[in-house]
Amino acid sequence: MNPDTNAVAREPQRVLIFDTTLRDGEQSPGATMSHAEKLEIAELLDAMGVDIIEAGFPIASEGDFRAVKEIAERSRRATICGLARAHPTDIDRAWEAVRHATSPRIHTFIGTSPLHRAIPNLTQDEMADRIHQTVTHARNLCDNVQWSPMDATRTEWDYLRRVVEIAIRAGATTINIPDTVGYTAPVESAELIRRLIAEVEGAEDVIFATHCHDDLGMATANSLAAVEGGARQIECTINGLGERAGNTALEEVVMALKVRGDIMPFHTEIDTTRIMNISRRVATVSGFPVQFNKAIVGKNAFAHESGIHQDGMLKNAETFEIMRPADVGLKETSLVMGKHSGRAALRSKLKELGHDVGDNQLQDIFVRFKSLADRKKEVYDEDIDALVRAQGAAEDALELTFLRVICGTEAPQSADLTMRVDGEDRQITAQGDGPVDATFAAIKGLVDHSARLQLYQVHAVTEGTDAQATVTVRLEESGRIVTGQSSDTDTVVASAKAYIAALNRLLVKRRLVPEGSDTPEINYRDVV
């Protein structure tokens, strides 16, 4: 038995958490993470108690392979998984990436619904043979093999049962049932798992998993229903990040099981007090802000404005809160830091907020903290979180060094900008229809690109006229989609930094897959 199977065998009510933020989450257009960011997120997932981390798709690129390999080598307790299509070369590459993990896993898949069978133009028998061959190949390399029939919820029942039995006989230890397009409903999700366990030969020897997408807003409900039906592994992502409408949100299923144990007597090994910290970090590195009213981790999840609600909260918090903010690692905003605070106080505050930083990182944050404290009357926990999240990568080719915007009641506006480009300072003056437009025009004048602005979004980190603004910018160029995010008390400066952050990511993508390159790119929309 592999470690995951052992855990469930010992505790039948234990639900394994399989996090695919670094694979399925990163497939969200514009959510590409840097190598260092992937390592950081993997470390946070490991520390919070995630059972299996799907670290990436090793065959997709050299960068993906290196990230999965290093995560596998650095992991402490989690099983590290690599995704592979039903091809021996994919499987070999995945194994090479994860083989040095303390607990490695290969996850291989193929689309089994009529629509997906038509893509490789395979008959049912031909596909069944490929499943047997590839799962056998994976099991010969690794004792821990997961197999997924992509678009399982739209696959004919008789054929789904047949191929699941083939995968089990070939050596799969986990059978994942993906609702790839978010089509199913909770009653169907539970019944499908229940029926597979009851009717598939060898079902008692494997763990059944569920992987749900949120196209109809039912991913969390479908995952919990599958657990009721007998699934003992939930595939999910932080903040529900993922293709199209996203995946099952880790924080939602974990807290649902914790809060409603009275009707769902299952448990996970997740340290829920770490949820808020990793949610914020994933939002920053992915460039996908969390909506204010998002369950569990949204800014308003524990906020109360209505007079009736506020009165009830003052008398008894349980009147309008079914969980404590501290349960997810959310501490009440406190004003304890200012311009007279020293490094020791800042380090202590960072640790309290869940940020374990090294000396060099502390020094960088401290310099920016002092600058912020000079500009703001009050420095809140959220401000300090934003300082940590706004740290630039050392390898960035572009850096803002000076910006002055001249505004008036009549257009055009003017921006004087100095940027460091590959170590050399360059200066330009540009005009635009407003201060942000002028700033972006200046940046474009120094960095040649044809990227189209897809998204420009601003929100305040805290309250007040001196609040930091967090700006998100998404760019698209020749099919490459990148996102940048930054915070500053000056919205125009934050906008410039976010635009430059996106351009830095675009430059990285250009290097990885140059235009006209023969390097094949994986079509992620053919993935689980």
Any idea which residue has 């470690």 for tokens? 3
Q: Where are the alpha helices (DSSP H) in 118-270?
A: 124-141, 157-170, 186-199, 219-229, 250-259
The span from the CA of 119 to the CA of 180, in Å, is 15
pLDDT given for residue 391 in this prediction: 60
The span from the CA of 188 to the CA of 481, in Å, is 35
pLDDT given for residue 365 in this prediction: 86
Q: Which helix (H) or strand (E) holds 351?
A: helix 343-352
Positive or negative, the CA dihedral 148, 154, 155, 160 is positive
pLDDT tens, position by position, for the chain (528 residues)? 788 888 887 899 999 999 999 999 988 877 878 898 999 999 999 999 999 999 999 999 898 999 999 999 999 999 999 999 999 999 999 999 999 999 999 999 999 999 999 988 999 999 999 999 999 999 999 999 999 999 999 999 999 999 999 999 999 999 999 999 999 999 999 999 999 999 999 999 999 999 999 999 999 999 999 999 999 999 999 999 998 999 999 999 999 999 999 999 999 999 999 999 999 899 988 888 888 889 999 878 876 443 433 344 344 555 546 888 889 988 755 545 777 788 888 888 888 777 878 888 888 888 888 888 887 767 777 778 777 766 654 457 899 999 999 987 777 899 999 999 988 999 999 999 999 999 999 999 999 889 999 989 898 877 777 788 889 899 999 888 888 888 888 999 999 999 998 998 888 777 765 554 443 444 444 566
pLDDT given for residue 287 in this prediction: 80
pLDDT given for residue 158 in this prediction: 97
pLDDT given for residue 45 in this prediction: 98
Antiparallel, parallel or unpaired: β 452-460 and 174-179: unpaired
pLDDT given for residue 528 in this prediction: 67
The span from the CA of 141 to the CA of 120, in Å, is 25
The pTM assigned to this predicted structure is: 0.81
The span from the CA of 28 to the CA of 244, in Å, is 7
Amino acid at 244: R
At 442, list the tokens.
């200046």
CB < 8 Å & 24+ apart, contacts of 413-416: 413/437, 413/438, 414/438, 415/439, 415/441, 415/442, 416/442
The span from the CA of 488 to the CA of 467, in Å, is 8
Q: How far is CA 295 from CA 185, 291, 426, in A?
A: 20, 9, 45
**How long a stretch of residues is the chain?**
528
pLDDT given for residue 512 in this prediction: 60
Antiparallel, parallel or unpaired: β 145-150 and 16-19: unpaired
The span from the CA of 204 to the CA of 51, in Å, is 21
In degrees, rounded to 5, the angle at the alpha carbon of residue 326 between the alpha carbons of residues 323 and 327 is 50
Collapse the DSSP code of 470 into the 3-class scheme (helix H, G, I; strand E, B; otherwise coil) and give the result: strand
Amino acid at 278: I
Cis before residue 520, ω within 30 degrees of 0?
Answer: no
The span from the CA of 236 to the CA of 212, in Å, is 8
Give yes or no for a contact between 216 and 193, defined as CB atoms under 8 angstroms apart: no
Q: Which helix (H) or strand (E) holds 427?
A: strand 424-432
At 95, list the tokens.
């194994």
The span from the CA of 165 to the CA of 311, in Å, is 58
Helix axes 124-141, 157-170, angle to 10 degrees: 30
Collapse the DSSP code of 409 into the 3-class scheme (helix H, G, I; strand E, B; otherwise coil) and give the result: coil
The span from the CA of 250 to the CA of 240, in Å, is 7
Residues 6+ apart with CB under 8 A from 162: 124, 128
The span from the CA of 319 to the CA of 322, in Å, is 8
- In this predicted model, what pLDDT tens digit does every residue of 39-48 receive, in sequence order? 999 999 999 9
Closest CA relative to residue 38, chosen from 63, 58, 60, 67? 67
Residues 6+ apart with CB under 8 A from 146: 81, 105, 106, 107, 108, 172, 173, 174, 175, 176, 209
pLDDT given for residue 392 in this prediction: 52
First-to-last C-alpha distance (Å) of the chain: 25
- In this predicted model, what pLDDT tens digit does every residue of 270-324 receive, in sequence order? 999 999 999 989 998 888 888 888 999 987 887 644 343 334 434 455 554 688 8
Closest CA relative to residue 144, chosen from 333, 247, 16? 16
237 φ/ψ angles, rounded to the nearest 5 degrees: -140, 155
The span from the CA of 221 to the CA of 184, in Å, is 10
